[in-house]
Amino acid sequence: MGELGVALVIEDDDDVRNLVDAVLQQAGFEVYSAGTGREGVEVARQHQASIITLDVGLPDIDGFEVLRRLRQFSDAYVVMLTGRDDELDTITALQGGADDYITKPFRPRELRARISAMMRRPRQAGQEESPSPVAAGEARVRVSSNNGVLVHNGLALDMKTRTVSLKGTPVGLTRSEFDLLQDLLKGTGAVRTRADLVRVVRGEYYRDDTYISEADERAVEVHIGNLRRKLREDPNEPRWLVTVRGVGYRLAPKRPE
């Protein structure tokens, strides 16, 4: 097995497949490849890939259907690759559980940097981060913490096991959704701009001086929308995620039980 584990390239274009294969091998992965969606699902199942690049336009079933099937058994990082610069495609991919979305043609260095940033995001969040500063006059939200578990309004997020439950019922989140929710809980009511949250999702690849595009911010909006849907959040009376118009998001105040 490669130093970083197993990677899978699902791509029907030979040139693109060979390029991505080479990028992943140079990064330290043991790489497998597949030219169709159905084959890719089986290879992912057999080899337990930790990261998958997935072409949207496959000859048998499209990448979105492949993603749906992968998410039935795999928690691998999934990067969607497509030749179509369509916002609807981006939204569909992220809502389906993809971790990132890159439009062809892409630079090999960019692909490797994004993958490296994703792999550095901890599976278990062992270190504590300082909470974000709260603007003057803004009330701080109290989030109880016990042994690495953040609890707020019936929601419990375990930073060690990277699991979330709502009144005892498990809630299945993607890595990006989990990281955003954890960041907002740790912020204890501080407003987090969309750019702040893009950096949470992208990791070290997006430094403080990195340009944040509208597509990046829309991706964050999609992730937040997915969180609200999974938490069954009422947007009119939010218990956790409050939209700050024109800025970003913050944690809702604590409610009496």
Q: How far apart are CA 225 and CA 229, in angstroms?
A: 6
Percent of the chain with pLDDT over 90: 38
Residue type, 5: G
CATH architecture of 144-251: Orthogonal Bundle (1.10)
* CATH class of segment(s) 6-120: alpha beta
Residue 133's pLDDT is 40
User: And the tokens for 146?
Assistant: 């016990």
Residue 140 has pLDDT above 50, yes or no: no
Residue ranges per domain, the chain? Answer: 6-120, 144-251
Assign 125 a pLDDT band (cuts: 50, 70, 90): very low
Which residues have CB under 8 Å from 108's CB, separation 6+?
A: 19, 22, 23
**44 or 201, greater pLDDT:** 44
Under the banding of pLDDT at 50, 70 and 90, the label for residue 115 is: confident
Per-residue pLDDT averaged across 150-168, rounded?
Answer: 91
Mean pLDDT of 24-43: 94
Q: How far apart (Å, rounded) are the C-alpha atoms in residues 237 and 55?
A: 39
Residue 137, pLDDT score: 34
* Residue 9 structure tokens: 């390239």
